[in-house]
Each structure stands twice: as C-alpha cells, then as structure tokens.
C-alpha cells in the first residue's frame, strides 16, 4: 500500500460571507482505510467533503487528492472518485436497472464492460430481483444499496459518503457497513461523515469536527485511551437530582444519565481527590452516591474535544 495519503489537506478554510464554515483544517487520510468524519450537524463535514471533491472552491488552503491538486485538477479527479450523499439523489421515476444504466453512461463505463458491471453490482447489492422496480418505491435500505452501487459503478479509488445511513434501520446500516469493508478489502479508500457514535467506532481512523475546526484526530482506540482516568459512573438513589447537582460542579466537563446511573466526564487533571469531592458534594445535597471509574468511549471523546478540552490522541 502506498505511503502517500489518499487525501492531504493543509489550512483548508471556507467562508460564506461572515460565516467561517471550515476553519484552517489540516488532514491526512491514509489509503485503503475507512476514515471517519464525526461531528454534529453544522460542524463543517459536508462543506469539507464538497471541497475535497472539487464541488466547492475553498477560500484558503491546499488540497491534494489522489496526487491531484484540487480544485485545479478537479475534472481529472472526478473519474477516480465516487460520492454518495445523505439524501437519495437518483431518479425516483426510473427503474433500478435504468438508474444503473444511466449512471454507467454518464460515468463513462466502456460499452463492452457496462452490462457485466451492472450485473455484478446488482448481484453484490441484492438488487437483481428489483431490476424493473421504480427506485422511488423502494425501502430506505434498498435505496441505500442502489445509491452505493451507482457510486462505485466506475470502480473509484476513493469514495466519499456523506451521512449515508441517516435514514435507514439498524439492520440495513449493519449490512451497509459490511459492504463498505468489502470495498476497503479491495483497496478502496473511504471517507465517511457521520454523527452516530457506533458508526464512528467502526472507522479505522477518525477526525472530529466542531464549528469548522478539527478538534481531534486518531484511531478510536487511541482517542479513547487518551481519556483514561477522566470518566466515571455515579450510582445514586436519585440520578436526576444528582445530575442537577453536578452540572455546574468544578471540574465536571459533562454529565449524562445512562439508565439508573450517571456518566461523568472530568476535566483534564482531576484525580481521586476530585472524585471524593464530587461524592461529598452529592452527600451534602442529601443524596446517596458512589463513584467508580469507567472505561472511556467515543461519546466521552466527543464531549471532551468539542468543549475545548481535547483528548489529544494522534495514533
């Protein structure tokens, strides 16, 4: 596998009037891996992807994708990348087969290859029995499989997926991710934007964006390990009251109810003395409570990173 990253970005910025939507992002996406963009709506994920694809001109910065400068060489790049958007963007009034044939035509799949490629994709993504069905009448999971088949019709080296599973059920999401890993096994590089923690955990590497800034970057394991000692479970006889008592407590970066317990994220530098003080604060509020250390997860990483107390964590 080439050591040269599939995507290399330095100082990438995008302004829309007074709004700085992407704020001097540096990024290296390795080849043949699933690289995740995690962030809330409005964090700059989609804007960044559109600039990487050459669909949007950056206000500042340098972009190199598959060895090509973007946007200068965007036209040459388009035949080497695929792009799947969050909403179904194919033709609802065409059949599955007609959609695939049309996409093959506009992507320049050679005539002698087109029929075999369409048959291959319909078999791989379980669309063969729906060839004559109108795309608009399909379920969310079926539309998703059709959209993926169209995105990889020309066998791209790099595939961008912008919130691709936002409108499908958990079983369809699981199947979809299996299909994505089959693509990486074949050498395709994937950049996937998501706001779902369980999807982020599937990625080989992960970037967290917040208000246009890159606030964390690393493998999920490295990012969570960097938070060691900062996550706690609080067991209390009244978790709702306990949560209210801790929201403004010194050193508390985040607190959320999980079942009958609270998950507590401490600011950096807090230790056993701080944990004892938290227990005392709850006891002083007339609450029975016990703190015990918890294993960090990506939600903790996200909270730490987006509240300006980053977990570090390049791997």
Tell me, yes or no, whether 97 and 181 share the same domain: yes
Cα separation of the two ends of the chain: 18
Structure token pair of residue 28? 């290296």
CATH number of the CATH domain containing 125: 3.40.50.300
Q: How many residues does the chain have?
A: 315
Inside any domain, residue 265: yes
Residues 62 and 270: their CA atoms lie apart, in Å, by: 39
Inside any domain, residue 306: no
Cβ atoms 100, 122 nearer than 8 A: yes
Structural domain range at position 188: 29-55+71-221
Those residues with Cβ within 8 angstroms of residue 156's Cβ, 6 or more apart along the chain or in another chain: 80, 81, 82, 188
CATH number of the CATH domain containing 276: 3.30.70.100
Tell me, yes or no, whether 39 and 139 share the same domain: yes
Instruction: Give me the pLDDT at residue 248, please.
Output: 87
pTM: 0.88
Q: What angle do CA 105, 66, 82 make, to 5 degrees?
A: 35
Total domains present in the chain: 2
Provide φ and ψ at 92, rounded to 5°.
-65, -25
Tell me, yes or no, whether 152 and 45 share the same domain: yes
Inside any domain, residue 2: no
Tell me, yes or no, whether 160 and 283 share the same domain: no
Instruction: Give me the pLDDT at residue 311, please.
Output: 39
Tell me, yes or no, whether 183 and 99 share the same domain: yes
Q: Strands across the sheet with 158-162, in order? A: 81-84, 158-162, 189-194, 34-38, 205-210, 213-218
Tell me, yes or no, whether 288 and 267 share the same domain: yes
Closest listed residue to residue 226, CA positions, set 112, 315, 154, 121: 315
Residues 260 and 234: their CA atoms lie apart, in Å, by: 9
Inside any domain, residue 5: no
Inside any domain, residue 305: no
Per-residue pLDDT of the chain (315 residues; tens, 9 = 90+): 457 999 999 999 999 999 999 999 999 999 999 999 998 888 999 999 999 999 999 999 999 999 999 999 999 999 999 999 877 778 999 999 999 999 999 999 999 999 999 999 999 999 999 999 999 999 988 999 999 999 999 999 999 998 888 767 888 889 999 999 999 999 999 999 988 888 899 999 999 999 999 999 999 999 999 998 899 999 998 999 999 999 989 999 999 999 889 999 999 888 778 888 999 999 999 999 899 999 999 999 999 998 853 333 333
Q: Which of 187, 221, 255 lies at the terminal end of a domain, its last residue?
A: 221
Tell me, yes or no, whether 141 and 255 share the same domain: no
Tell me, yes or no, whether 41 and 187 share the same domain: yes
Q: How many CB atoms lie within 10 A of CB 163?
A: 21
Closest listed residue to residue 7, CA positions, set 66, 53, 56, 59: 66
Tell me, yes or no, whether 127 and 173 share the same domain: yes
Inside any domain, residue 160: yes
Tell me, yes or no, whether 245 and 283 share the same domain: yes
């Amino acid at each position: 596998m080439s050591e040269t990253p599939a995507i290399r970005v330095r100082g990438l910025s995008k302004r829309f009037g007074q709004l700085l939507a992407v704020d001097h992002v540096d990024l290296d996406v390795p080849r043949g891996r699933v690289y995740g963009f995690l962030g809330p709506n409005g964090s700059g994920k989609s804007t960044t992807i559109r600039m990487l694809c050459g669909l949007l001109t950056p206000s500042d910065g340098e972009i190199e994708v598959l060895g090509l400068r973007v946007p200068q060489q965007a036209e040459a790049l388009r035949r080497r990348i695929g792009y799947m958007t969050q909403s179904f963007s194919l033709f609802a009034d065409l059949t599955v087969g007609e959609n695939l044939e049309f996409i093959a035509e506009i992507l320049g799949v050679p005539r002698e290859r087109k029929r075999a490629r369409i048959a291959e994709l319909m078999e791989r993504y379980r669309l063969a029995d729906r060839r004559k069905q109108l795309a608009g009448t399909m379920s969310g999971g079926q539309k998703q499989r059709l959209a993926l088949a169209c995105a990889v019709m020309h066998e791209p080296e790099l595939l961008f997926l912008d919130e691709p599973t936002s409108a499908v059920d958990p079983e369809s999401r699981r199947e979809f991710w299996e299909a994505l890993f089959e693509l990486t096994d074949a050498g395709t590089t994937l950049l996937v934007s998501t706001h779902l923690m369980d999807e982020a955990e599937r990625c080989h590497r992960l970037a967290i964006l917040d208000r246009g800034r890159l606030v964390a970057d690393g493998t999920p394991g490295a990012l969570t390990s960097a938070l060691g000692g900062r996550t706690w479970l609080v067991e209390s006889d009244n978790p709702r009251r306990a949560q209210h008592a801790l929201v403004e407590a010194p050193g508390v970066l985040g607190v959320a109810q999980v079942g009958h317990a609270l998950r507590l994220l401490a600011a950096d530098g807090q230790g056993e003395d701080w944990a004892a003080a938290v227990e005392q604060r709850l006891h002083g509020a007339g609450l029975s409570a016990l703190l015990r250390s918890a294993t960090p997860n990506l939600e903790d990483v996200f909270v730490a990173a987006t509240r300006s107390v980053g977990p570090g964590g390049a791997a």
